[in-house]
């Protein structure tokens, strides 16, 4: 949340780094923009490989579609559960009840301090023995896809928690005071007044987190999840065409991330437009 500089102070520069850095700025309609060159260039290269070298590229393309579906399935499930955890963590971070605030803060700080790859290994390899020892092995099946979704949800839930916290705190305090003056409880004010406004503020950063999660989903291939990267590895290991296989995988990931980056930018622009024309 930015603040206006006080008298005698100079405003510090703000550096914004997101997953949408290749999206052209508003008003930049140049055909040779970085996003256009990257996105349509990747599509052109992929099509060119299929046209001029159908063998093996056509076989690779036919081999990986189910991996793309698995990637989207893991990503969507993870982002849904991460949003739920993030909302709880964000509300906990601003809670006046000390134990809830402390637990939420510990969750956010601990999870953000552990790499996602370590969390994937921990939940897939280290957690099942504890689950079995507790007699829950028949109820909780921590197979590859389940472990992947659980680890990514917990990891990104911590980041979502900070996004929700910042979004809620960015709403002017007068909104809460006005809701309380109307007779609402603090919980009602947050649910009916603060959160609806917060959603508009946090949608762009949530979109960026979705793109980051989509790219990080490639890590789940280590857990026997047949995502895009694993399908590419399987084809390469049987055909020994490593360059060709990973070229296709890289191009597909690039096309997907740039496409969703564009959608996030359009959403952010639309929200900004409606916000300035109220």
Q: What is the pLDDT of residues 108-127, one digit of tens each?
A: 999 999 999 999 999 999 88
Over its C-alpha atoms, the chain yields an Rg (Å, rounded) of: 22
6-20, 100-114, 115-129, 201-215, range with the lowest pLDDT: 6-20
Distance, CA of 34 to CA of 57 (rounded, Å): 26
128's tokens: 């099942």
Nearest by Cα to 158 from 262, 83, 244, 72: 83
**pLDDT band of 31, cuts 50, 70, 90:** low
- What pTM, to 2 d.p., does this model score? 0.84
State the alpha helices, DSSP H only, in the chain: 34-52, 54-63, 65-93, 98-112, 116-121, 127-133, 144-170, 173-181, 186-189, 195-216, 228-239, 242-276
Q: Thinking of the domain 41-271, which architecture would CATH place it in?
A: Orthogonal Bundle (1.10)
Distance, CA of 71 to CA of 257 (rounded, Å): 12
Residue 15 clears pLDDT 70, i.e. is over it = no
Predicted pLDDT of residue 192: 87
**pLDDT band of 216, cuts 50, 70, 90:** very high
Predicted pLDDT of residue 274: 61
Distance, CA of 137 to CA of 129 (rounded, Å): 9
Domain residue spans of the chain: 41-271
Distance, CA of 171 to CA of 27 (rounded, Å): 29
């Amino acid at each position: 949340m930015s603040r206006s500089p006080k008298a005698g102070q100079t405003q510090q520069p703000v550096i914004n780094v997101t997953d949408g850095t290749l999206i052209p700025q508003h008003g930049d309609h140049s055909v040779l923009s970085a996003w256009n060159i990257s996105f349509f260039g990747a599509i052109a290269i992929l099509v060119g490989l299929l046209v001029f070298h159908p063998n093996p590229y056509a076989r690779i393309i036919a081999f990986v579609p189910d991996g793309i579906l698995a990637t989207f399935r893991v990503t969507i499930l993870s982002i849904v559960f991460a949003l739920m955890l993030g909302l709880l963590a964000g509300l906990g971070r601003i809670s006046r009840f000390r134990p809830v605030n402390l637990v939420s803060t510990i969750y956010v700080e601990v999870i953000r301090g552990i790499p996602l790859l370590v969390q994937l290994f921990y939940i897939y390899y280290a957690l099942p023995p504890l689950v079995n020892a507790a007699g829950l092995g028949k109820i909780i099946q921590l197979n590859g896809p389940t472990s992947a979704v659980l680890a990514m949800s917990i990891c990104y839930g911590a980041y979502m928690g900070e996004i929700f916290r910042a979004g809620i705190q960015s709403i002017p305090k007068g909104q809460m005071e006005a809701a309380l003056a109307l007779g609402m409880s603090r919980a009602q004010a947050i649910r009916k007044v603060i959160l609806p406004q917060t959603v508009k503020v946090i949608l762009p950063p949530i979109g960026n987190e979705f793109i980051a999660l989509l790219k990080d989903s490639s890590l789940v291939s280590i857990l026997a999840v047949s995502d895009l990267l694993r399908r590419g590895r399987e084809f390469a290991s049987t055909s020994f065409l490593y360059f060709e296989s990973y070229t296709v995988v890289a191009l597909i990931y690039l096309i997907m991330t740039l496409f969703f980056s564009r959608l996030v930018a359009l959403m952010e622009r639309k929200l900004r437009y409606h916000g300035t024309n109220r």
